[in-house]
């Protein structure tokens, strides 16, 4: 893997953690308290929790894997699926890495019924169908934090921080989650093979830039100072890939994912210089890998622990 290194903001109240289970009331002195639910054993599991994000409230699934060596004070990593919404497949592809590194693996499922199209997943519902900015309370980014907390409860995890990886459409979600929320709970982020990007500039309308989102220079400076890796497969250069968006806005960033990733990193560097802000991002490339989550995961997994 080749690398070129380069140089906590609070979430809005609407993006703060939501208590999905009411706290237990203290039991009367003569009544035995209900025993706590047993944590899930090592292995792969599917859990559901109540989620209000999306087109309608309802249950949301989380596919997770608890390694045999993981302990409640151990690290947590969230992995965001691609356009096929196959969170179970992403979990299965990451199980060996989770076991090797002792990571509690959390893969939220942004299913197409609850989070339809680019707007509700890739864009986090930051704008509506007419491109009008939505308030943070309407964003679907918050469901990621809720999914991590559901997995934490199921496994008895003690840590609140987590590492975050997204590939393809998942990488689109991750970098916009970072730019718009600043991801204060995330220890480090990996943006792998995103198809295209929201550039860190206000003269380009969202989703190709940050124009019209209400993003601020202070918020962007906070995002630029987070430990972020832009991870690009060196063979992910097909301008005719069937899942690659080709239009004026995306082609202004390049005609393939590899070039677009370099353009995004350069734009972030320029934004940090303009704002005179610390820049903690790095760009790394993965030889011999095209548009493959499994191929990118081998390179990404060790980076999640720093």
Per-residue pLDDT reduced to its tens digit, 54-101? 999 999 999 999 999 999 999 999 999 999 999 999 999 999 999 999
Percent of the chain with pLDDT over 70: 88
| CA dist., res. 233 & res. 114, Å (int) | 31
* Local confidence band at 1 (pLDDT 50, 70, 90 cut-offs): low
212: left (phi over 0), alpha (psi -120 to 50) or beta: left
| CA dist., res. 115 & res. 27, Å (int) | 40
| CA dist., res. 120 & res. 173, Å (int) | 10
Lowest mean pLDDT among 31-45, 186-200, 265-279: 31-45
pLDDT at 19: 30
Q: Which domains does the chain have, with CATH numbers?
A: 49-305 (3.40.50.1820)
* pLDDT greater than 70 at residue 110: yes
More confident residue, 26 or 36: 36
pLDDT at 243: 95
| CA dist., res. 93 & res. 91, Å (int) | 5
| CA dist., res. 25 & res. 31, Å (int) | 12
pLDDT at 126: 96
* Local confidence band at 214 (pLDDT 50, 70, 90 cut-offs): confident
Mean pLDDT of 272-279: 98
* pLDDT greater than 60 at residue 18: no
| CA dist., res. 234 & res. 136, Å (int) | 36
The overall average pLDDT reported for the chain is 89
Q: What is the dihedral of CA 192, 233, 210, 149, to 10 degrees?
A: 0
Structure tokens at 61: 């699934």
* Local confidence band at 304 (pLDDT 50, 70, 90 cut-offs): very high
- Whether 217 and 182 have beta carbons less than 8 Å apart is answered as no
| CA dist., res. 153 & res. 198, Å (int) | 33
Q: Tokens 């718009």 belong to which residue?
A: 180
């Amino acid at each position: 893997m080749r690398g070129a290194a380069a140089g906590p903001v609070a979430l809005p109240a609407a993006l703060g953690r939501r208590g999905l289970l009411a706290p237990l009331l203290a039991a009367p002195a003569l009544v035995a308290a209900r025993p706590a639910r047993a944590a899930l054993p090592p292995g792969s599991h599917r859990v559901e929790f109540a989620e209000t994000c999306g087109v309608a409230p309802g249950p949301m699934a989380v596919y997770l894997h608890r390694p045999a060596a993981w302990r409640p004070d151990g690290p947590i990593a969230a992995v965001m699926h691609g356009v096929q919404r196959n969170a179970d497949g992403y979990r299965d592809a990451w199980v060996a890495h989770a076991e090797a590194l002792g990571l509690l693996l959390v893969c939220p499922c942004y299913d197409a019924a609850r989070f339809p199209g680019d707007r509700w997943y890739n864009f986090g519902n930051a704008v509506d169908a007419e491109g009008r900015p939505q308030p943070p309370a309407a964003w679907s980014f918050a469901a990621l934090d809720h999914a991590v907390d559901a997995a934490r409860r199921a496994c008895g995890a003690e840590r609140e921080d987590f590492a975050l990886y997204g590939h393809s459409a998942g990488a689109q979600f991750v970098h916009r989650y970072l730019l718009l929320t600043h991801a204060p709970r995330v220890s480090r982020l990996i943006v792998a093979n995103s198809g295209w990007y929201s550039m860190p500039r206000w003269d380009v309308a969202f989703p190709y830039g940050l124009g019209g989102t209400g993003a601020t220079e202070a918020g962007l400076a906070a995002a630029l100072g987070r430990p972020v890796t832009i991870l690009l497969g060196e063979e992910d250069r097909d301008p005719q890939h069937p899942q690659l968006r080709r239009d004026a806005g995306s082609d202004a960033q390049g005609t393939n994912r590899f070039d677009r990733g370099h353009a995004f990193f350069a734009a972030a560097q320029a934004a940090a210089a303009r704002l005179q802000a610390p820049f903690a991002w790095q760009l790394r490339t993965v030889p011999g890998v095209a548009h493959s989550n499994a191929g990118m995961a081998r390179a990404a997994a060790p980076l999640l622990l720093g």
